[in-house]
């Protein structure tokens, strides 16, 4: 079998490797020439994927990358793994899906399977993508070509998360489309979970991430409430999770980050309006999580005030730029919001992240592009009036931080196992 995977990012590249390891010949398609060149030369640009893994697969001839979408003519299946961000009005932006559909449609052959993996609202696959593919190819979905949706379930930074081991939800446009999609994924994934339609599969992915968003909002709200009562929410959660039934631990933080939890719930919120439905839980969770950076900065203000210092004029180091621990992915990271808020209040802001040596250009925070991570040593750390822990990377020595820093504001309970002077560490 020969297939094409469009989009060679955090979802597409691991999927390329997994299919190739299963004996499938894979063409990775991307409009970014740097990614194409990197893969063909056996070089990884994603931290948790080793270059050696790419080199081995490329050497077998089962993986090559290109920006030539005419190669779709020669494949049996096309898997789409492109971004689905929100626009400036927090509305779904499926332009990457539409553009990809337009790029592959002229080369679509009879019997080819097209699978969308990008997270989106119910109806995207069987309405929006289908329309683009049909108009551009002259073929009909379910009759001339197959169409399906199978949501990605990547968990970057989790060593126990393997593509082949994660059950794969699949919804087809027709029973024949579903059968064709299952035949494809059996070559790479061990457990398949077929559902009745593309829309059910799309809704499944949204439920998974809405579930997390709502529960994170709950513990974020409890963090603020319990702090006012002098209670440590982390101690409460650790005690509660000893219950062997009826409880699942979620943990507070400085705000949501990544390309899923801060974005995906609003896809359903937007689509629900079309059906005159209100999504109050989702919107309230969004309000609570979005307000967390302001709460954290207020705690930084309190911590500095306790040392007779104002935010204005203070030097503040944000520890951790990536949106989650032990990865180099800074998409939608709350650290950017924290840095913006602190700078707006007159602080001199820097960051340290062992996984992000230099900030790359981003859509929402272009002014930070090119900023380099502060070198980790006693002189540098001690020179800041406060250190704000936003992401708790395992590569950081927190005992050194406790020994060197003047003041620490901890949003991740990272200092729990360290020794430090009374009054030095503030929970946020």
Contacts of 359 (CB under 8 A, 6+ apart): 321, 330, 351, 368, 369, 370, 371, 372
> Residue 145 has what DSSP assignment?
B
Q: Alpha helix (H) ranges present in 89-197?
A: 95-104, 130-137, 175-185
Distance CA 95, CA 85 (A): 9
Range list of β-strands (E), 164-277: 168-172, 192-195
Phi, psi of 96 (to 5 degrees): -65, -35
Distance CA 427, CA 233 (A): 10
Contacts of 52 (CB under 8 A, 6+ apart): none
Comparing CA positions, the residue from 310, 318, 341, 339 lying closest to residue 387 is: 318
Is 407 catalytic? The answer is no
Range list of β-strands (E), 54-179: 63-66, 77-80, 113-116, 146-149, 168-172
Q: Which two tokens stand for residue 54?
A: 């790419």
Q: Of 16, 81, 177, 260, which residue is the catalytic one?
A: 260
Q: What is the DSSP string of 329-376?
A: --TT-HHHHHHHHHHHTT-EEEEE-TT-SBPPP-SS-GGGTTPBPPP-
Contacts 24+ apart (CB under 8 A), 336-343: 336/362, 336/364, 336/365, 336/368, 337/255, 337/293, 338/254, 338/255, 338/293, 338/296, 338/297, 338/388, 338/390, 339/368, 340/365, 341/293, 341/294, 341/297, 342/297, 342/300, 342/311, 342/316, 342/318, 342/388
Distance CA 15, CA 201 (A): 18
CB 94 within 8 A of CB 111: no
Q: What are the C-alpha distances in Å from 186 to residues 162, 197, 347, 392?
A: 15, 19, 54, 37
Report the greatest alpha carbon distance in the chain: 73
Q: Which residue has the tokens 């009745």?
A: 196
Q: What is the set of active-site residues?
A: 260
């Amino acid at each position: 079998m020969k297939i094409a995977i469009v989009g060679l990012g955090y979802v597409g590249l691991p999927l390329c490797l997994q299919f190739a390891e299963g004996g499938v010949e894979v063409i990775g398609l991307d409009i970014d020439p740097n990614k194409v060149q990197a893969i063909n030369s056996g070089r990884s640009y994603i931290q948790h994927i080793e270059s050696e893994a790419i080199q081995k697969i490329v050497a077998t001839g089962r993986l090559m990358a290109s920006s030539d979408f005419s190669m779709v003519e020669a494949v049996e299946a096309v898997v789409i793994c492109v971004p689905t961000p929100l626009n400036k009005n927090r509305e779904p932006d499926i332009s990457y899906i539409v553009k990809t559909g337009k790029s592959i449609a002229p080369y679509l052959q009879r019997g080819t399977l097209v699978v969308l993996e990008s997270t989106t609202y119910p109806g995207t696959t069987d309405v929006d993508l289908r329309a683009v593919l049909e108009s551009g190819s002259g073929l009909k979905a379910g009759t001339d070509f197959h169409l399906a949706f199978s949501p990605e379930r990547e968990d970057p930074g989790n060593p126990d998360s393997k593509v082949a081991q994660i059950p794969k939800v699949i919804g087809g446009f027709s029973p024949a489309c579903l059968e064709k999609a299952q035949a494809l994924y059996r070559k790479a994934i061990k457990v398949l979970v077929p559902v009745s339609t593309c829309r059910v599969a799309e809704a499944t992915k949204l439920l998974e991430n809405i579930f997390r968003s709502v529960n994170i909002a709950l513990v974020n709200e409890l963090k603020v409430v319990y702090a006012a009562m002098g209670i440590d929410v982390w101690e409460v959660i650790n005690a509660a999770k000893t219950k062997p039934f009826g409880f699942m631990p979620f943990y507070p933080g400085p705000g949501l980050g990544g390309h899923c939890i801060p974005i995906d719930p609003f896809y359903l919120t937007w689509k629900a309006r079309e059906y005159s439905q209100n999504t109050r839980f989702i919107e309230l969770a969004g309000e609570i999580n979005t307000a967390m950076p302001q709460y954290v900065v207020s705690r930084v203000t309190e911590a500095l005030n306790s040392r007779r210092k104002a935010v204005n004029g203070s030097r503040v180091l944000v520890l951790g730029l990536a949106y989650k621990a032990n990865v180099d992915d800074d998409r939608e990271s709350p650290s950017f919001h924290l840095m913006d808020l602190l700078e707006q209040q007159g602080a001199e802001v820097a960051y340290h992240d062992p996984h992000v040596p230099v900030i790359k250009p981003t859509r929402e925070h272009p002014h930070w592009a090119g900023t380099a991570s502060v070198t980790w040593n006693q002189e540098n750390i001690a020179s800041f009036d406060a250190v704000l822990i936003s992401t708790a990377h395992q590569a950081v020595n927190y005992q050194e931080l406790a020994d060197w820093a003047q003041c620490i504001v901890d949003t991740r309970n990272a200092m729990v196992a360290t020794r430090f002077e009374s009054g030095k560490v503030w929970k946020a």
